[in-house]
Each structure stands twice: as C-alpha cells, then as structure tokens.
Amino acid sequence: MTVEPSLDPALDQGSPAAPSQNTATRETLEDYTLRFAPRSYRKWSTGVVAVSALGGIAYLADFAIGANIGISYGTTNALWGIAIFAVVIFATGLPLAYYAARYNIDLDLITRGSGFGYYGSVVTNVIFASFTFIFFALEGSIMAQGLHLGLHVPLWLGYAVSTLVIFPLVIYGMKVLSTLQVWTTPLWLILMVLPFGYLVVSHPSSVSTFFDYGPDADFGSMLLAAGVCLSLIAQIAEQIDYLRFMPPKTPENSRRWWTAVLLAGPGWVIFGALKQIIGLFLAVYIIARVDGGTAIANQPVHQFLEIYRDFLPGWLAMTLAVVLVVISQVKINVTNAYSGSLAWTNSYTRLTRHYPGRLVFLGFNLVIALVLMEANMFDFLNTILGFYANCGMAWIVVVASDIVFNKYLLKLSPKAPEFRRGMLYAVNPVGFVSMAAAAGVSILVFFGGLGDTIKPYSPLVAIGLALVLPPVLAIITRGKYYLRRLDDGLDLPMYDEHGNPSGEVLTCHVCRQDYERPDMTACQTHAAAVCSLCLSTDKVSDHVLPAHS
C-alpha cells in the first residue's frame, strides 16, 4: 500500500510510543544517530567525508602498539605481524565500508541484516563500545604522559583532564566533529611526519640498527604480534560513522566516490601500519641512544621529544611534543567518545524500547575509560589488546563473510541491507552462532586452553572460523532467519535509478517528522508510515508489522 503523511492529531496522540519520542527525535536528528542517514543531510563532498574519516585515525596508540610488539618480539617478527594485520584489515574492511557508503547506514545497522538479527547484533554493539573505551583510555593515558612530562601534571589528574575535555566537543555530533578533523589534520601531519623524516636523514645508521633489533623470524611470534595489532580491527566501525554520510554514487562521481571509500574505509590501515612501523623505529632508536631508554621507548611523547631535542631548543621540543600528543588525543577521542555513545545508546534503546538520550551514555563510556586509565592499563597493554582482538576479529570477519559469501555468492542473504524492527528476526543463528563460536574458541586458544603449541595461533583460529561458519550455517538454515517479512507495506521504491537509497519523503505519524523512504515502514494498526526509531521505542508493538506466514 502507499501511505500518505498523517494529518490527524488524534492519531498521533493515541500512539503508545508518542510520549517518549520528543527527546529521541530531537537528538537523533542532529546527525541521524541510530538511523539511516538521508541524502537531504548528506551535503559534504566525497573529499570532505574522506578527510574527516581519516582525521579520526590521528591517534598515537599505533606508535605505542608498534613499539610494544617490537620490544616483545623483535623488528622482523613485528614487521611481519604488521603486514598480516594490514592484509586482514583491508580485506575485511572493504565490503563493510562499501555497504556503509552505498546504503548510508552504520556498522550496527549493517550487522543486523548481515546474519545477526534485530536483537542479536546487540552483543556486537557491546564489543564495539568496549573498543571505544579501551582505545579512549589508551589515548588518554598517552595525553596524561605528555601533560606530566611537559607541565608536571600528576598522572591521575592528567587522566581526568584528558577525559573531561572531550565531553563538550562531542555534544553537538558529526557537524562539529567533521570541522574539527578537517582543520587540525594539516598541523598534525607536520608535527608527526617532518621530525621522522629528519631522523632518517640525519641518522642513517639508525635504519640498520632498526632492522637488526631483536630475535630472528619466528612464525609464532609473528602471529602474536599480529594479534595485538588486530585489536584495531573494529576501527572500521569508526570509519563507517563518517562514511555513512557519503553522497549518492552516480556515473559522474563514481571515480571520486570509490577513491574516497577505499582510502577512508579499509585504506585507513595503510596509515595505521605506517604509524606502527614508525613507532617501532622510534622505540629502537631510543633504546639504542638513550640511557634507560627501554623504560620509555613505548611512550609516544618520549619518542617525539627525543627527535625534537635533536634539532630544537629544549623548551620548544617539549612544547611541540606536548602539542602533538594533545592534538592527536583530541582528534581520535572525540570519535571514540561519539561512536561509543552511539553503540551503548543503540543497545539500550533496542533492549528497553526507551531512548534515554545519547549524552547519558557518552558520560557512561567516558567513566569506564577513566577507570581503565586510573588502573594503569598502559602497563598490561599487550594482554588487553590481544584478548580483545579475538572478539573484534570474530565480529568483523563474520559480517564481511556474510556480505561476500552469503549475499553475493550464495545469495542466501538478502543483498540489500535491512535493519528495521519487524523486518528482521530477533536473532539470526548464521551470524550470532558463528561469532560466538569464533570468539569463544579463539579466546580459549589465546589463554592456552588447548595447549601452548597453538596458543600463538588464536588470530588464525578467530579469522578461520569467522570466515567459514557463516556460509556453512546459511546453507544449513537455507537463509530462513534473515527476513521476518518480505516487504514493509509501502509501495514506494526503496532505491533510485542508480541503486542509491531513495530520497522520497514520508511523515512518521508518531513523531510527526519527515524521513526518507529507507527509514520508514507501514504501521500495523494505522494507515500511515512510522520511522525506524519510533518502531524501536514502541513498547507494545502497536506499530510493528506481523511476520509473513
């Protein structure tokens, strides 16, 4: 049926969901949090979206990770581990980035229709939220180290400062974040790239010292190093929080569109791998040239301070090192805080059918990060990241496997993404069981539960199971648990002539706001349309369409 906009106030007032919609509607329209991002809002060019997305990877955690795996396993094994990490990240990130940019939805909405179901994807939101507060804490620790070194601020106070300064920057959503990323990126590049270039040119012997550091090649050590790096696999979700605002793909902008998606999507790993290698290089340089260098070699503020001191006065070197740390921490942690607040809010809203406000969970995410910092997580970084990597890999690889194999090759999963309540089953065993099995077995291997011999191979276990199980389970279940319904009750087409989501506008009869076609379904009890968030907060299922027999 074709649904016309609701004009009857009594109809809206009689809706069970209507009283809870005011806050949710106002906040989610800032940047369409928890929703499809409509083309009327997506006014940025492909270049601006790409630069904004890449600005979010300005974090210094890569330098610390590269230094830690180099110190633990040696240069050769660390470099091979970084290479393995880069290949896995690019291969799994490509289908996810394409889906986000093509259909303008975030990774949670992609996950729902890619094997997990409407409620089944809640567990992946928790995994992603954990990623955001772990790396927020890591970056906040690095900033606190910089403030302690440069301004003698106590570490405990530095942790608090690095947390509190982020809150006001994230209140206003994506418009403020994209502006911040675009304007700070040039200064960040200058402060990071030029000193490293100077070091290589002025101390050429440091290159040979770098390659000679540590033990010879060992496959187990390579995989252990790769496992730590692969904790960053969930970074693609933060890239997607920007990529969902890509403009529609047309024959005229196809080349620019693909360039932006590749660079800002899976391409982030190229820049991430380079930063890890630089962090490893700087750590070896400090260990070789600075007394007691081993104790500080994995701290980015010390890494850059030592280079700056080589050609600048001491006061200026300290100033630039602290400025670099602060800019980097702010650039990434606004994204960590924003994405984490979305993940928690999305999970809570679906489970309770109540929208508490994104700022509640922004504060919640920052509190967890602050607790981790005060617990001095930096000292056991490798263990935390290695453990988390198993969960992150299981999730991301399962979704990528479902898109590539089940959607495009086997055609057992609907090719077009679906995320709306009523259209999906509560839980789809294809993705949910695959992820649980891949994460559970790989964590068991990681902690030596299946013997020390295969302990280093936990990343391969996670990737292998997450890659193979989705198509196997899709074949076993014949794809029957993907869609609860075959249509949403609206006769308007979902996509335009170029395959982009339609820009046709309907009015939600519950919140009385206009939304584009992909965000809407027909209402079960009224001859009207209802938006996806009003469906999520419908406590009595008054609007939810029944399942097809």
Q: Which of 396, 384, 385 is nearest to 435 (CA)?
A: 396
Q: How far apart are CA 470 and CA 398, in angstroms?
A: 6
Q: How far apart are CA 475 and CA 284, in angstroms?
A: 50
Q: How far apart are CA 276 and CA 254, in angstroms?
A: 32
Sorted by where each starts, the structural domains of the chain and their CATH numbers stand as 41-380 (1.10.4160.10)
Amino acid (1-letter code) at residue 336: N
- Give pTM, 2 decimals: 0.84
Q: How far apart are CA 193 and CA 312, in angstroms?
A: 16
Predicted pLDDT at 25 = 56
Would you give per-residue pLDDT tens digits along the chain (549 residues)? 434 333 333 333 333 344 345 555 555 555 676 788 888 888 888 988 888 887 767 777 788 889 999 998 999 999 999 999 999 999 999 999 999 999 999 999 999 999 999 999 999 989 888 888 888 888 888 888 888 888 888 988 988 998 888 887 777 655 565 666 667 677 777 877 787 788 888 888 888 888 888 888 888 899 989 988 888 888 898 899 889 999 999 999 999 999 999 999 999 999 899 999 999 999 998 888 887 778 888 888 888 888 888 888 888 888 888 888 888 787 778 888 888 888 888 888 888 888 887 788 888 889 988 988 888 876 676 677 778 888 999 999 999 999 999 999 999 999 999 999 999 999 999 999 999 999 999 999 988 888 888 888 888 899 999 999 999 999 999 999 999 999 999 999 999 999 999 999 999 999 898 999 999 999 988 889 999 989 988 988 889 999 986
**Alpha carbon of 337 to those of 29, 125, 232, 360, 505: distances in Å?**
18, 14, 16, 12, 31
For 320-380, the DSSP string reads HHHHHHHHHHHHHHHHHHHHHHHHHHHHHHHHHS----HHHHHHHHHHHHHHHHHTTGGGG
SS (H, E, C) 173-185: CHHHHHHHHHHHH
pLDDT, tens digit, 9 for 90 and up, residues 479-531: 999 999 999 999 999 999 999 999 999 999 998 989 999 999 999 888 899 99
Token readout for 151 is: 């301004």
